[in-house]
């Protein structure tokens, strides 16, 4: 049959745009014309139109549909390796480290500060390793939020997805207010609402540019934060050795007087919630997997970078804070914002002029960074909720530039609560908002480790192993088991401290300000079970889908590539092998 017979009348009507044209010899040839140039403004507005997706088979189960939707997500893969590396190293460093560590030092003492951050950091490293394995295998939209539905159950997936969405939806107004409070270090006469507007517009503009705007902003923010912490580590050693204009040699004086522990074992338990808050957002490297150019290459390296962030930027800097600032310093609890930062207090005590303002500027950058990350995380999670059938379909709206517009709009709309900063009741309102997200990260991290254990169980049940994984967790299932155990212990410690707070009688208000997240999760779970009449609490390992969404569909070829990569690394000198293991 000739091409001419297949050439339809519709194509013949307008030969200027037809994919088949006649040449000078009257032969039909393929012709791909230049795309029509619409102009900047036309292209800009057309970019907001919805991305057209393929229809799914109506006979699919809810879980099958959710897995396919996550794999087909039209989110743009614009994040490069450098973006992911900096997000992993410094992306979530914010007020939890710079300011929250002050209240933790006052409550628990320097020894509690170091112990809590080391244990939480070890758990965090295991969690990110587990997350890295899952995200390299399944770089799907919604990432670990969707993994709960895939590997555990729909009911648990519904709870964890809404838990994570609420956590980041609340963080935006909290961080915007924190940014306004930080400005008061220099000028306390201007109304906080004026500063809030500036920071709100900044976050809005960054997120209009989609994942590329987020990636570039975080790249710059993270570099500045990392340089500031490295600078403080050097300065902290100098201050401790008596190199400042005043204060003299400190050494380990404050570990003896006033002491290493402020309130014994209960003080240590109370510090865990602050340490967990400071690590919140570390899992964002997994959420970004679906928008990374080559997750197989960039994600393993990014997950390894988390070790160095925990060891260098958290443990060393907080050890220096603990030896340079006594836990009974009145400024730690008597103020808010930069004035309560032990980093700033240690510089002020050393009599160094100018640097406290520099440190305060770094805190403001960190706050803006976390606010920016909150919109990114909330918008992607809201879109994932719609994909899994956990929220109205409109929340899954993604435009032609790969932006989850309704998710971004939802986050920015709730972010308007930041204008409560001008209200005289702002402290009470934000205390309850913080209660909503206070323990959310603990459940998120425990679920990630649980999903990894279930994934390995599913592989074993199907007679398959880790040889088909482009990246396997360095701590394996034992690391995930440790992660689940540590998260459970932290929850138990927080329950005790919430029920019997330090220096206060037991009362319902103080309990729910710490533990409000738990009853909300119970309500979500019960609602799903009875609304859907879904009593399947766990998917059987043999029934877990371990193939949908994988980018490498030729497993035999993948196994061969992995074997070749391992052989290449094994042939290198020991220092190169050590470097590849840790970096």
For tokens 């743009």, what's the residue?
Answer: 76
3-state secondary structure of 534: coil
Q: Higher confidence at residue 99 or residue 78?
A: 99
**Is the pLDDT score of 65 beyond 70?**
no
Q: Higher confidence at residue 72 or residue 173?
A: 173
Q: Which of 58-62, 210-214, 307-311, 351-355 has the highest mean pLDDT?
A: 351-355
> What's the pLDDT score for residue 71?
61
Q: Higher confidence at residue 31 or residue 129?
A: 129
Q: Which of 43-57, 245-259, 323-337 has the highest mean pLDDT?
A: 245-259
Q: Higher confidence at residue 363 or residue 92?
A: 363
Going by pLDDT thresholds of 50, 70 and 90, the confidence category of residue 231 is very high
> What's the pLDDT score for residue 294?
76
pLDDT digits (tens, 9 = 90+) for 12-64: 434 343 344 444 444 444 444 444 555 555 555 555 555 555 565 566 666 66
**Is the pLDDT score of 553 beyond 80?**
no
Sequence-distant (≥ 6) Cβ neighbours of residue 304 within 8 angstroms: 474, 581, 582, 583
Task: Report the candidate in 233, 231, 230, 227 with the shortest Cα–Cα distance to residue 365.
Answer: 227
Angle, nearest 10°, between helix axes 110-137 and 100-108?
Answer: 130
Mean pLDDT of the residues in the chain = 80
Q: Which long-range contacts (CB under 8 A, 24 or more apart) does 193-200 make?
A: 193/419, 193/421, 193/422, 196/418, 196/419, 196/421, 199/368, 199/371, 200/176, 200/412, 200/415, 200/416, 200/418
Mean pLDDT of all residues in 280-293? 79
Q: Which of 67-71, 185-189, 560-564, 573-577 has the lowest mean pLDDT?
A: 67-71
> What's the pLDDT score for residue 101?
87
What is the Cα–Cα distance from 450 to 151, expressed in whole angstroms?
9
Residue 292: strand pairing partners: 79
3-state secondary structure of 77: coil
For tokens 């590539």, what's the residue?
Answer: 561
Mean pLDDT of all residues in 441-452? 93
Sequence-distant (≥ 6) Cβ neighbours of residue 379 within 8 angstroms: 207, 404, 407, 408, 410, 411
> What's the pLDDT score for residue 459?
93
pLDDT digits (tens, 9 = 90+) for 448-485: 999 999 999 999 999 988 888 888 898 999 999 999 99
**Sign of torsion, CA 367 368 370 371?**
positive
> What's the pLDDT score for residue 266?
87
What are the angstrom distances between the C-alpha of 474 and each of 307, 318, 582? 12, 26, 10
Separation of first and last alpha carbons in the chain: 59
Mean pLDDT of all residues in 194-205? 89
Left (φ > 0), alpha (ψ -120 to 50) or beta: where does 75 sit?
A: beta
What is the Cα–Cα distance from 291 to 353, expressed in whole angstroms?
44
């Amino acid at each position: 049959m000739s091409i001419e017979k297949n050439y339809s009348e519709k194509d013949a009507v307008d030969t200027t745009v037809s994919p088949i044209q006649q040449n000078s010899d009257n032969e039909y040839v393929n012709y791909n014309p230049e795309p029509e140039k619409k102009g900047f403004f036309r292209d800009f507005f057309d970019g907001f139109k919805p991305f057209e997706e393929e229809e799914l088979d109506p006979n699919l189960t809810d879980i099958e549909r959710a897995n396919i939707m996550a794999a087909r997500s039209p989110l743009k893969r614009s994040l490069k390796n450098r973006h992911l590396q900096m997000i992993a190293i410094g992306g979530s460093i914010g007020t939890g480290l710079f300011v929250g560590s002050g209240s933790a030092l006052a409550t628990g003492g320097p020894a509690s500060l170091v112990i809590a951050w080391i244990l939480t950091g070890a758990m965090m490293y295991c969690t990110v390793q587990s997350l890295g394995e899952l995200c390299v295998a399944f770089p799907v939209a919604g990432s670990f939020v969707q993994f709960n539905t895939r590997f555990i159950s729909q009911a648990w997936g519904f709870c964890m997805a809404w838990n994570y969405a609420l956590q980041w939806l609340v963080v935006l107004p909290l961080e915007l207010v924190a940014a306004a409070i930080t400005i008061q270090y220099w000028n306390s006469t201007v109304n906080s609402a004026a500063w809030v507007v500036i920071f709100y517009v900044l976050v809005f503009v960054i997120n209009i540019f989609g994942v590329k705007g987020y990636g570039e902003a975080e790249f710059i923010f993270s570099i500045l934060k990392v340089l500031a912490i490295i600078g403080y580590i050097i300065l902290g050693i100098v201050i401790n050795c008596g190199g400042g204009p005043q204060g003299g040699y400190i050494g380990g004086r404050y570990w003896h007087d006033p002491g290493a522990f402020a309130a014994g074992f209960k003080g240590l338990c109370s510090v865990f919630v602050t340490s967990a808050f400071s690590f919140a957002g570390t899992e964002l490297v997994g959420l970004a997997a679906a928008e990374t150019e080559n997750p197989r290459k960039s994600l393993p390296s990014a997950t390894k970078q988390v070790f160095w962030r925990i060891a260098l930027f958290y443990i060393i800097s907080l050890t220096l804070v603990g030896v340079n600032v006594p836990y009974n310093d009145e400024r730690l609890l008597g103020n808010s914002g930069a004035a309560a930062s032990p980093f700033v207090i240690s510089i002020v005590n050393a009599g160094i002029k100018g640097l406290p303002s520099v440190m305060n500027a770094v805190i403001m950058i960190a706050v803006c960074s976390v606010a920016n990350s909150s919109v990114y995380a909330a918008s992607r999670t809201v879109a994932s909720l719609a994909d899994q059938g956990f929220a109205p379909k409109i929340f899954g709206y993604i435009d032609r530039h790969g932006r989850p517009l309704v998710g971004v709009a939802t986050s920015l709309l709730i972010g308007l609560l930041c204008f409560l900063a001008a209200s005289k009741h702002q402290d009470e309102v934000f205390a309850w908002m913080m209660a909503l997200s206070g323990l959310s990260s603990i459940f998120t991290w425990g679920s990630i480790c649980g999903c990894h254990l279930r994934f390995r169980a599913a592989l074993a049940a199907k007679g398959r192993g880790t040889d088909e994984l482009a990246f396997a967790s360095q701590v394996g299932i034992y690391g995930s088991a440790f992660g689940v155990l540590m998260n459970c212990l932290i929850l138990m410690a927080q329950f005790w401290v919430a029920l019997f707070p330090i220096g206060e009688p037991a009362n319902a208000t103080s309990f729910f300000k710490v533990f409000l997240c738990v009853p909300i999760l119970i309500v979500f779970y019960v609602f799903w079970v009875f609304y859907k009449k879904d009593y399947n609490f766990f998917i059987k390992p043999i029934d877990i889908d371990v193939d949908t969404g994988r980018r490498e569909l030729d497993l035999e070829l993948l196994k061969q590539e992995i074997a070749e990569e391992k052989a290449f690394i094994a042939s290198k000198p020991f220092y190169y092998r050590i470097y590849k293991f840790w970096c």
